């Protein structure tokens, strides 16, 4: 025999770090009281790549079910822990530089946007737990937003961390460099080169994106080349000199390699080392 289920609500997570904004690195686990509710009232979770949905096999309306649950148990919400499967989540997500704690979401702090109920982040300085946040979805809010959208889809949105990109060019092979620079499509320019010494004690040329903070990304969005303008003796008199590509396709940052900008320690940087 087939059993019909009705959807009570859905939850989707979006993150600009990932391709098509689909966040695949978070898991949502029902907390103890919600687990008891699910077993007692036969609620079923259907997991998706970037979230989940909660379903009921009752013939009663959602309002009737919630009213009965409140009378029988005194509970008025579902609650879930948020866990991440990616240890770099805090690195590539836009959070305060010195952030430690949890990111909590409550349906009483939400707004309707493009058919989805956007849950607003409520930072919590609590540390020491294995999960990175909690979600509380209250019965009254599920019903309130159901009246506006049918069964509601709650949404959480994260932004990729934006950093100052820094290329340290270390010329171990003594490649002749006259006027090196970094080129790429668009209006993004790099400051430098500046002569610096790395933490390892090697001389390097530093190019930085300066005030242009570029978001980290799972896929390559920005493509930059290291080029060099030959000296005038290398060209034919009267003809403009053409920059020569030294390295085509410089690396994009690894999210776990995070530093700070020398003159502004509150601003994060993404250092990358390029060896010639």
pLDDT in tens, 128-163: 667 889 999 999 999 999 877 678 999 999 999 999
Contact 136, 107 (CB under 8 A): yes
Q: Is the pLDDT of residue 2 over 50?
A: no
What is the structure's pLDDT at 265? 64
- 26-40, 118-132, 200-214: least confident range: 118-132
Q: How far is it between the farthest Cα atoms of the chain?
A: 91
- At residue 247's C-alpha, the angle toward residues 187 and 198, to 5°, is 90
Average pLDDT estimate for 47-56: 94
The percentage of the chain sitting over the pLDDT mark of 70, rounded to a whole number, equals 92
Other residues' Cβ atoms within 10 Å of the Cβ of residue 85: 9
- 67-76, 121-130, 176-185, 197-206: least confident range: 121-130
Reported confidence tier of residue 1, pLDDT bands at 50, 70, 90: very low
What CA–CA distances, in Å, run from 32 to 29, 72, 239?
A: 9, 17, 76
Q: Is the pLDDT of residue 234 over 90?
A: no
What is the structure's pLDDT at 129? 66
Q: Is the pLDDT of residue 232 over 80?
A: no
Helix (H/G/I), strand (E/B), else coil: 196: strand
Q: Is the pLDDT of residue 186 over 80?
A: no
Reported confidence tier of residue 187, pLDDT bands at 50, 70, 90: confident
What is the structure's pLDDT at 3? 58
What does the alpha-carbon distance between residue 15 and residue 201 come to, in Å, rounded to a whole number? 38
pLDDT in tens, 73-101: 999 999 999 999 999 998 999 987 777 77
Q: Tell me the pTM.
A: 0.87
- 154-163, 235-244, 259-268: least confident range: 235-244
Using CB atoms within 10 Å of the CB of residue 9, give its burial: 0 to 12 exposed, 13 to 18 middle, 19+ buried.
buried
Q: Is the pLDDT of residue 196 over 90?
A: yes
């Amino acid at each position: 025999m087939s059993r019909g289920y009705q959807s009570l609500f859905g939850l989707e997570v979006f993150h600009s770090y990932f391709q098509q904004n689909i966040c695949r690195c978070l898991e949502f686990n029902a907390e103890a009281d919600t687990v008891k509710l699910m077993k007692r009232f036969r609620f079923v979770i259907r997991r998706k790549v970037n979230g989940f949905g909660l379903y009921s096999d009752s013939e009663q309306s959602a309002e009737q079910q919630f009213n009965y649950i409140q009378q029988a148990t005194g509970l008025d919400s579902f609650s879930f822990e948020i866990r991440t499967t990616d240890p770099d989540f805090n690195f590539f997500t836009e959070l305060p530089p010195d952030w430690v704690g949890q990111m909590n979401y409550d349906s009483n702090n939400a707004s309707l946007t493009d058919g989805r109920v956007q849950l607003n982040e409520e930072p919590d300085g609590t540390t020491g737990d294995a999960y990175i946040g909690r979600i509380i979805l209250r019965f009254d809010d599920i019903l309130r937003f159901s009246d506006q959208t049918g069964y509601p889809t709650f949404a959480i949105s994260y932004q990729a961390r934006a950093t100052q990109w820094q290329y340290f060019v270390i010329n171990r092979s003594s490649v002749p460099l006259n006027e090196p620079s970094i080129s790429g499509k668009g209006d993004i320019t790099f400051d430098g080169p500046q002569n610096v010494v790395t933490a390892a004690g090697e001389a390097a040329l530093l190019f930085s994106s300066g005030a242009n903070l570029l978001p980290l990304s799972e896929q390559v969005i920005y493509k930059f080349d290291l080029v060099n303008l030959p000296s005038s003796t290398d060209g034919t008199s009267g003809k403009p000199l053409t920059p020569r590509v030294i390295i085509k396709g410089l690396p994009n940052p690894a999210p776990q390699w995070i530093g700070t900008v020398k003159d502004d320690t509150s601003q994060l940087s993404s250092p990358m080392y390029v060896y010639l």
